[in-house]
Amino acid sequence: MPNFIEGEVLLIDKPLTWTSFDAVNKLKYALQRSTGVKKIKVGHAGTLDPLASGLLIVCTGKKTKIIESIQGLKKEYTGIIQLGATTASYDLETEPENFQDTSHLVEEQLRQAAKEMEGEVDQLPPIFSAKKIDGKRAYNLARAGKTPEMKTKRISIHSFEIEKIEGAEIHFRIACSKGTYIRSIAHDFGKKIGVGGYLKALRRTKIGEFNVATAMTIDEASSYI
């Protein structure tokens, strides 16, 4: 039998629109109800944006001590980059703009651009991100109409594979290091191609050897608890 107070690791398939904190709070409430313990440690290893689905690792009890080590593991994502426009948030949180023609693009050009983006790079996070600028979240400043000054961070793109091309939609699989913003990769890819781009869909499939294929839905996890 699982011992959530002593410590367990739960693999959750986070649904779209939920924040990572929504998922943790739901499971924490279920744990409090099932164990009768009000003060129980629950945390997650790596935030997923509300517009992303997929693997969220939730740790309870003494297992929360390994969260930092899990966060440092390699991540894998699948998703869609929409070419031919940009957004201020680099995803669909804000409206597409700066529309450009994509009819001249060819598959070889797109695959070559993806290959050239692999390796270590100094990535600029989106202004609509949770990065703290002078003690304030960048996304709060951006939503208030301000332009936070972002600093680059060295990250690694281990692989950037194009799995399918449907018109101006690029279906990809990316393996990367901790702290990588896939939204920024989408934006940079569109810039490299010369027509702009933004992240249309995102799903986290792996963290280290943990795989979303073995993850539970939030409802399943609540019942399991």
Give the residue numbers marked as catalytic: 49
Contacts of 92 (CB under 8 A, 6+ apart): 51, 198, 199, 200
| Cα–Cα distance measured from residue 75 to residue 46, given in angstroms and rounded to the nearest whole number | 10
| Cα–Cα distance measured from residue 138 to residue 146, given in angstroms and rounded to the nearest whole number | 9
| Cα–Cα distance measured from residue 212 to residue 19, given in angstroms and rounded to the nearest whole number | 17
| Cα–Cα distance measured from residue 187 to residue 197, given in angstroms and rounded to the nearest whole number | 5
| Cα–Cα distance measured from residue 94 to residue 194, given in angstroms and rounded to the nearest whole number | 21
Q: Per DSSP, which regions of the chain are E strands?
A: 9-14, 42-44, 52-60, 75-83, 119-123, 132-133, 136-137, 153-166, 169-176, 197-207, 210-211
* Three-class SS state of 97: strand
* Three-class SS state of 214: helix
